[in-house]
């Protein structure tokens, strides 16, 4: 295949990941009302493992050649799973539930910048001037789509709540420093930046791995197993998981399972895209979720902000930036 064809294949895979990530964001907002986020995260991550294992089994059944082994790439995929499937998704799910899908998406736009910087420093990957201009235009457009007045104000912090809806007992007894730390840990800024950085590190690890070992499905499976192991290791109440699942809302469980299928499918697509196009560009395309999330969340969740002229202008700028990158 020609380099041009492979480049366009990379953009197609990145576009497919964009659609799948958008679906998972919207589903998370719906599912969080039916099932506890921690339990839902476990269901989604388990679905990641099960679905990617099935996909890998089908791939092995259809492929004609034997699987080659690359130990370095294997551990890079495992480390990427720790950063994305566990840390990145945990921060992002928390921000979606606390602050809504549109607001949570804005911090994701910084991930391509972190990815580009780390790919340049660690992998020697460089972007053309035109591609860099397109990236800046896309990011500027996404900021216009997602930004709201007072976005960085302290009002974004959410009070600690008990399961019955009242203040948690420990919050009433905590010192001023403890309350301040808790507010910082629950701020949209920290959750958003934490998610963005975790995804950027994971993307660089994945990109490095897939370029040395062209196994995106297996790479996604290894990352999912790594994330699930960490979740089980650090989650509280592991002994009650089975009982909680038995009494959990079936619709909520099904929704989080669907989220798991959607996210792991998106990961497979973006890992495949990273083999053919720059890591930062693949990340940028897949994280253009605000231009889809904002109008869709406005239609699905009636309490979302209105679509304004600024939102439309930002969407146009974003699409123009992507067009410049693809057609450069």
pLDDT at residue 152, as a whole number: 44
Q: 216-234 and 188-212 are packed helices; what angle lies between their axes, rounded to 10 degrees?
A: 140
pLDDT at 208: 92
Identify the pLDDT of residue 63. Answer: 83
Q: How far apart are CA 180 and CA 162, in angstroms?
A: 18
Tell me the chain's radius of gyration from C-alpha atoms: 20
Q: What is the pLDDT of residue 49?
A: 94
User: Residue 158: its pLDDT value, please?
Assistant: 36
Q: What is the pLDDT of residue 153?
A: 45
Angstrom distance (rounded) from CA 210 to CA 252: 34
**Which parts of the chain register pLDDT below 50?**
151-174, 176-177, 181, 184-185
Q: Which residues contact 215 (CB under 8 A, 6 or more apart)?
A: 67, 73
| Amino acid 328: pLDDT | 55
């Amino acid at each position: 295949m020609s380099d041009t064809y492979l480049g366009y294949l990379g953009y197609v895979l990145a576009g497919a990941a964009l659609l799948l990530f958008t679906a998972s964001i919207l589903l998370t907002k719906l599912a969080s009302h039916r099932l506890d986020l921690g339990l839902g995260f476990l269901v989604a991550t388990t679905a990641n493992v099960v679905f990617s294992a099935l996909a890998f089994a089908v791939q092995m059944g259809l492929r004609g050649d034997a699987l080659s082994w690359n130990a370095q790439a294997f551990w890079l995929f495992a480390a990427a799973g720790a950063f994305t499937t566990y840390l990145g998704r945990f921060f992002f799910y928390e921000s979606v539930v606390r602050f809504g899908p549109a607001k949570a998406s804005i911090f994701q736009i910084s991930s391509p910048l972190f990815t580009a910087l780390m790919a340049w420093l660690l992998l020697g990957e460089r972007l053309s001037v035109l591609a860099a201009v397109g990236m800046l235009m896309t990011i500027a457009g996404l900021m216009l789509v997602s930004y709201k007045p007072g976005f960085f104000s302290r009002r974004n912090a959410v009070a600690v709540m008990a399961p019955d809806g009242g203040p948690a007992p420990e919050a009433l007894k905590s010192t001023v420093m403890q309350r301040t730390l808790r507010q910082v840990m629950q701020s949209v800024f920290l959750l958003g930046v934490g998610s963005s950085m975790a995804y950027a590190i994971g993307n660089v690890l994945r990109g490095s791995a897939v370029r040395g070992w062209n196994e995106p499905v297996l790479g996604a499976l290894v990352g999912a197993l790594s994330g699930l192991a960490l979740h089980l290791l650090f989650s509280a109440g592991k002994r009650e998981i089975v009982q909680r699942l038995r009494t959990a809302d079936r619709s909520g469980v099904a929704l989080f399972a669907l989220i798991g299928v959607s996210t792991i499918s998106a990961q497979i697509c973006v890992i495949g895209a990273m083999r053919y196009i720059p890591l930062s560009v693949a990340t940028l395309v897949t994280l253009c979720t605000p231009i889809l999330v904002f109008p869709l969340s406005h239609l699905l969740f009636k309490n979302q902000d209105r679509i304004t002229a600024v939102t439309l202008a930002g969407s146009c700028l974003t699409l123009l930036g992507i067009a410049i990158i693809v057609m450069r």
